[in-house]
Amino acid sequence: MANNLILQTYFNKELQKFGFLKFKNINEKADALIEQFDIRSGQGRKTSMRSMSGGNQQKAIIARELSRPLDLVVAVQPTRGLDVGAIEYIHKELIKLRDEHKAILVFSLELDEVFSIADRILVMFDGRIVANLIAEETNENELGLYMSGSKEAQDEEIITK
């Protein structure tokens, strides 16, 4: 798992020098991410990703992606298969990135998740964006109407909001 956790950052100076990997630093970083994201595995950083539960695999992927410098996060079903505590942690991390003025794009089927972390909600129906809503100014019923195709915003409303 350690190699998977550093997959996006192995080229950083603290993890390699002249193309040679610094395994001590890699192991320390992996251990820190395992603890920070509460990734549970039988053998810690030595555990094979494929032997872990789906929820812990998801946490490892989130840890790998959110632990690197970035300006844009695209998260598709970021909390699928996770326990309540892990879901709250992922939401806090996404909100923390948002507060650091990073762009966060979340695709989720969970309306509770959408309303808990979104500032703006774009609704798609039949392959098109049919609504551009401010999360605080809408509710699940209105969102459901857009999602089912029963209601559609005018093109000007979609663009200008």
Q: What percent of the chain has pLDDT over 70?
A: 95
Question: What digits encode the pLDDT tens for the residues 19-75?
Answer: 898 899 989 999 999 998 888 888 888 898 888 888 888 889 888 988 888 899 999
Domain spans, the chain: 1-68
- Rounded Cα–Cα distance for residues 59 and 37 (Å): 7
**Cα radius of gyration rounded to whole Å, the chain:** 19
Which residue has tokens 């550093």? 6
CB neighbours of 38 closer than 8 A, spacing ≥ 6? 59, 85, 86, 89
